[in-house]
Amino acid sequence: MDVPPISNPVWHNIVAGKVKYQLDFLAAKILLGRLLLRVRSDPSPGMLEKCAHDLQNLFAQNPDLPCVQRDLERIFGGER
Amino acid sequence: MSGCMNTVSQVKEKIAQGKKLLLAGDERVLEQLPPGDWIGGTIPYFMTEQGGMATKDQVYVTELPGTISDIAIKVYDESTLPHVYTDAAKNGFSIIIIPAMCTTHLSFALNAPNYKDFAIHPLIGWISGVHLDDLGKIKPKVFSGLTNTVLEDGAVVMHVTLPPGRVADVGILNIFEQSAGDTITFPQDGFSAREVYINGVKTNFAEYISAQHLDTRLPLVADYYGAMVNVSFQSVDAANRQVHFYAPVFAGLRYKHAKPIENYVRQFTSQMPTKLGKQIVFSCNCILNYLYSELEGKQTGGITGPITFGEVAYQLLNQTMVYLTIIDLAA
């Protein structure tokens, strides 16, 4: 599965804590632990955009990892 | 697993053959080794096929598979380490070793999550140490085989490039879980704390630990989106009403004291992911797990590697086994 672009609102919803998924990709879990904290302390649109970009970029840089593919299916599989 | 204990002469032979090696051993054995494609750190404790052991005479050798495309060995200091993620191979992984308690260690522990491109590429590694009898007498060190450099403060990193069709992943095995007890938050980042918030109420942490009879062999555990990340207690200074940790606590994160563990080895082996055996290229486990769970002479499910003064899986961890796998996408 391809990594959806940053324009997909799900990336923003994840870092805003509006939706939650059980993930396998350790790097995403550790990064999200930080990003959620950042957005909680600064919920400005700029911070939300930056954190959503960081999360999307992490997936975009690691598309071939089996755990990334499983997580993409979990998050975006229902959109197809 | 691709690692095992070797004598110095066996390691010299592997270096002469041009093998790409990750080494762990006592300073006196590592300093006997010739230049080559290796990095190393000091530690005399190991998990081996025969069980946990302490020795100053042998070296734990992880030989990287012949399928890797390239390596680059780099030495960093506190000011250059923020580039560690951007220096990594686009498809590959990086292994880092940092001496315990040096400035670079403390800086990495506090700041790694703010490094540019944090976690974009797999970063795994460990904090080097010394025999516990030598604490305060001998400083932990890291070695770059490339230039025969020995460092007491800094970091040595092997950036490894993988060929197309192979990818690397970092995993952790942490048997500790959050208890159902109080939620602990900290007003600032740091390796020590005095006043903290217990369920939102400002409280002196040293007094709280004493009053609650908390077992400080069990870490604090934070939930990073489902990944349990530990911070281990170093000491409780009742006189100064201060608590010290082996890794920093971070403001805003919600910590809980860990649930008690009845039998580390049983819990560890039961949680070990199956089918990983041959995919694991490198792993290490924490000196506190080794000590508190009395792992000397005990086996941990065939998982071997150095016993460390801290573990790195993207950032500094405590009381956690970390491991690196290389996955053949065609398999």
Asked if B243 contacts B205 with a C-beta cutoff of 8 angstroms, the reply is yes
Does this complex have an ipTM over 0.85?
Answer: yes
Token digits of residue B10: 């066996």
| Local confidence band at A78 (pLDDT 50, 70, 90 cut-offs) | confident
Query: Cα B205 vs. chain centroid, distance in angstroms?
Result: 26
Give the containing element (helix H, strand E) for A9. Answer: helix A9-15
B-proximal residues of A, 5-24, CB under 8 Å: 20, 22-23
Provide the domain limits for residue A70: 9-79
> Please, which contacts does A39-45 make with residues 24 or more away whose CB atoms are closer than 8 Å?
A39/A15, A40/B252, A41/B252, A43/A16
* Interatomic CA distance for residues B105 and B87, integer angstroms: 19
Residue at A18: amino acid letter: K
Which of A32, A40, A62 is facing B225, going by the closest CB pair?
Answer: A32
Angle (CA) B185 B191 B197, round 5°:
15
Helix intervals (H) in B136-225: 205-212
Angle (CA) B59 B60 B64, round 5°:
125
pLDDT value for B157: 98
- The reply to whether B94 and B163 lie within a common domain is yes
- The reply to whether B125 and B52 lie within a common domain is yes
* Structural domain includes residue B178: no
Token digits of residue B317: 């961890």
- The reply to whether B215 and B99 lie within a common domain is no
| pLDDT (tens digit per residue) in B90-123 | 999 999 999 999 999 999 999 999 999 999 999 9
* Structural domain includes residue B179: no
| Local confidence band at B303 (pLDDT 50, 70, 90 cut-offs) | confident
* Structural domain includes residue A1: no
| Local confidence band at A79 (pLDDT 50, 70, 90 cut-offs) | low
Please give the interface size between A and B, counted as residue pairs whose CB atoms are below 8 Å apart: 68
- The reply to whether B106 and B196 lie within a common domain is no
| pLDDT (tens digit per residue) in B19-59 | 999 999 999 999 999 999 999 999 999 999 888 999 999 99
* Structural domain includes residue A21: yes
Higher pLDDT, B296 or B94: B94
User: Are residues A58 and B119, on separate chains, in Cβ contact within 8 Å?
Assistant: yes
Provide the domain limits for residue B247: 184-257
- The reply to whether B199 and B295 lie within a common domain is no
Q: Does B113 touch chain A (CB under 8 A)?
A: yes
pLDDT value for B266: 82
Instruction: Check pLDDT > 70 for residue B239.
Output: yes
| pLDDT (tens digit per residue) in B160-203 | 999 999 999 999 999 999 999 999 999 999 999 999 999 999 99
Closest CA to B278 of B311, B327, B313: B327
Q: Of B212, B228, B257, which marks where a domain is finished? A: B257
* Interatomic CA distance for residues B145 and B244, integer angstroms: 34
- The reply to whether B35 and B80 lie within a common domain is yes
Find where tokens 């976690």 sit.
B119
* Structural domain includes residue A33: yes
| pLDDT (tens digit per residue) in B51-64 | 899 999 999 999 99
Which of A30, A58, A65 is facing B169, going by the closest CB pair?
Answer: A65
| Local confidence band at B3 (pLDDT 50, 70, 90 cut-offs) | confident
- The reply to whether B244 and B270 lie within a common domain is no
* Structural domain includes residue A25: yes
Instruction: Check pLDDT > 70 for residue A80.
Output: no
Question: In chain A, which residue's Cα lies nearest the Cα of B90?
Answer: A61
- The reply to whether B119 and B141 lie within a common domain is yes
Q: Does A41 touch chain B (CB under 8 A)?
A: yes
Beta-bridge partner residues of B283: B323
Once rounded to an integer, what is the mean pLDDT over residues B116-132?
A: 97
pLDDT value for B274: 67
**How many domains, in total, are found in chain B?**
2
Helix intervals (H) in chain B: 8-16, 27-30, 103-111, 205-212, 264-271, 287-292
Beta-bridge partner residues of B286: B308
* Structural domain includes residue A65: yes
Q: Of B241, B257, B273, which marks where a domain is finished? A: B257
Q: Percentage of chain B with pLDDT > 70?
A: 98
* Structural domain includes residue A3: no
User: Are residues B250 and A32, on separate chains, in Cβ contact within 8 Å?
Assistant: no
User: Are residues B313 and A34, on separate chains, in Cβ contact within 8 Å?
Assistant: no
Angle (CA) B321 B80 B169, round 5°:
30
- The reply to whether B149 and B296 lie within a common domain is yes
Higher pLDDT, B293 or B68: B68
| pLDDT (tens digit per residue) in A8-58 | 999 999 999 999 999 999 999 999 999 999 999 999 999 999 999 999 999
Residue at A67: amino acid letter: C
- The reply to whether B153 and B236 lie within a common domain is no
* Interatomic CA distance for residues B313 and B40, integer angstroms: 17
Question: In chain A, which residue's Cα lies nearest the Cα of B251?
Answer: A37
Ramachandran sector of residue B291 (left: φ over 0; alpha: ψ -120 to 50; beta: rest): alpha
User: Are residues B225 and A36, on separate chains, in Cβ contact within 8 Å?
Assistant: yes
- The reply to whether B55 and B94 lie within a common domain is yes
* Interatomic CA distance for residues B189 and B208, integer angstroms: 19
- The reply to whether B72 and B218 lie within a common domain is no
Give A17-61 as a DSSP string: TSS------HHHHHHHHHHHHHHHH---HHHHHHHHHHHHHHHHH
Residue at B73: amino acid letter: I
**How many domains, in total, are found in chain A?**
1
* Structural domain includes residue A58: yes
* Interatomic CA distance for residues B99 and B82, integer angstroms: 17
Asked if B300 contacts B285 with a C-beta cutoff of 8 angstroms, the reply is yes
Question: In chain A, which residue's Cα lies nearest the Cα of B322?
Answer: A26
* Structural domain includes residue B190: yes
Asked if B150 contacts B28 with a C-beta cutoff of 8 angstroms, the reply is no
Query: Secondary structure of chain B: what % helix, strand, coil (to 5)?
Result: 15, 40, 40
Q: Of B257, B277, B296, which marks where a domain is finished? A: B257
